[in-house]
């Protein structure tokens, strides 16, 4: 009985330390083709982080995903945290290097804007995990929530060769606030 009570107390203590909060999913995701001139495929249904995949892509043809998030007024005064998950079996692919970099964008992608990723501050690096949240490798993924604003973010390839895909209805980036 004492063991059960101690175990329950430990579990509750750990669970209460985990910030759960509310979540924000991207209103749009778009693909940024870094081909020199740049090209945005606006509001697509699947995200892609790619370097050298599928073969044979020309050298320097990276593809990253740009996300637009609308931060609700309910996030005012809260802490936001950038998250990434691949948990819906059969709706994602991880090939070669599972690492990717996360950036803020100086403005969100638009359907009629110039071909740019508007890359701004780097938040850090993550490792895509099968059936789990991405592991934070380094960086700071928490920030003060910009309540009532629309902000852009980018997930970009790192390493020599990588391919990470997901269906935006089930997986990929999201933000929690608490």
Q: How distant is the alpha carbon of residue 26 from its chain centre?
A: 9
User: What per-residue confidence (pLDDT) applies to 10?
Assistant: 45
* Average pLDDT rounded to a whole number, residues 132-154: 98
Provide the whole-model pTM: 0.85
Instruction: Give the span between the Cα atoms of 160 and 141, in whole angstroms.
Output: 24
CA distance 102 to 83: 10
Mean pLDDT over residues 24-41, rounded?
89
Q: Is 46 helix (H, G, I), strand (E, B) or coil?
A: strand
Asked if residue 7 has pLDDT above 90, the reply is no
Q: For residue range 54-70, what is the model confidence (pLDDT) as tens digits?
A: 666 666 689 999 999 99
Q: Residue 12 has what pLDDT?
A: 43
Cα 62 to Cα 100: distance, rounded to the nearest angstrom: 12
Look at the chain and count its residues. Answer: 178
The secondary structure element, H or E, covering residue 2 is helix 2-17
Q: Which residues pair with 47 in a beta bridge?
A: 166
Neighbours of 7 (CB within 10 A): 10
Domain 21-177, CATH among 2.60.120, 2.40.30, 3.10.450, 2.60.40:
2.60.120
User: Domains of the chain: which residue ranges?
Assistant: 21-177
Average pLDDT over the chain, rounded to an integer: 87
| Rounded Cα distance, 115 and 103, in Å | 17
């Amino acid at each position: 009985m004492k063991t059960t009570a101690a175990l329950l107390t430990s579990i509750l203590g750990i669970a209460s330390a985990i910030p759960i909060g509310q979540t924000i999913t991207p209103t749009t995701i778009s693909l940024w083709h870094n081909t020199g001139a740049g090209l945005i495929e606006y509001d697509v249904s699947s995200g892609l982080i790619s370097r050298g995949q599928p073969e044979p892509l020309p050298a320097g043809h990276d593809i990253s995903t740009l996300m637009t998030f609308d931060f609700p007024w309910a996030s005012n005064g809260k802490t936001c945290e950038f998250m990434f998950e691949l948990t819906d079996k059969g709706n994602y692919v991880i090939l070669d290097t599972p690492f990717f970099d996360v950036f803020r964008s100086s403005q969100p992608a638009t359907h009629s804007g110039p071909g740019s990723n508007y890359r701004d501050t780097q938040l850090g690096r993550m490792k895509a995990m099968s059936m789990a949240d991405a592991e934070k490798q380094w960086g700071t993924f928490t920030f003060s929530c910009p309540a009532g604003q629309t902000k852009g973010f980018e997930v970009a390839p790192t390493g020599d060769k990588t391919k990470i895909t997901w269906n935006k209805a089930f997986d990929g980036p999201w933000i929690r606030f608490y």
